[in-house]
Amino acid sequence: MDLSNLMFTLYPYAKSLHIMAVLSWMAGLFYLPRLFVYHVEQAEKVQDAPAIFLTMEDKLLRLIMRPAMHVAWAAGLFIVLTPGVVDWSYVWPWTKGVSVIAMTWFHHWLLLRHRDFRAGQNRLTGRQYRLMNEVPTLLMVVIVVSVIFKF
């Protein structure tokens, strides 16, 4: 069996893995900014709350979001490299690609905000984190519409 036939045979497995990883990654991208909102707004009111929030944020980033992002990227690259799956003459693979890169940037931006919290240097308000919580939603809409409609 040649490589392209092997890739085509493995395609449904890669696609399934990609969807599961994206769901996990997105859950984290939706939840972490909300944790930051609570961290900013509630941490001063409850004893030991900052340490509890830092632990929750750290575990979400390290144990769920980072592995899910890496698996989503690996499976996604496998999918786009599978011969005959993506027609690069359409706009949709490019809009999805740009949106995935933006989603990855947002993930790293959240990681930097977590480091700010850990260092006691957070400068953003709960309202600002609420607004940033909309970023993954907007990117998700672009990605899903691009993949479903394939314009």
Neighbours of 102 (CB within 10 A): 16
DSSP string, 85-130: S--TTSSHHHHHHHHHHHHHHHHHHHHHHHHHHHTT-----HHHHH
Host domain of residue 11: 3-149
Contact partners, residue 118, CB within 8 Å, separation at least 6 = 54, 58
Would you call 18 helix, strand, or coil by DSSP? Answer: helix
Domain tally, the chain: 1
Can you give the pLDDT at residue 44?
A: 73
Q: Give 68-112 pLDDT, tens digit per residue.
A: 999 999 999 999 999 999 999 999 999 999 999 999 999 999 999
Taking the C-alpha atoms of residue 104 and residue 129, their distance in angstroms, rounded to an integer, is 17
pLDDT tens track for 132-150: 999 999 999 999 999 999 9
Q: What per-residue confidence (pLDDT) applies to 45? A: 82
Give the tens place of pLDDT for each residue, 6-59: 999 999 999 999 999 999 999 999 999 999 999 999 877 878 888 999 999 999
State residue 27's pLDDT score. 97
Closest CA to 64 of 111, 100, 134: 111
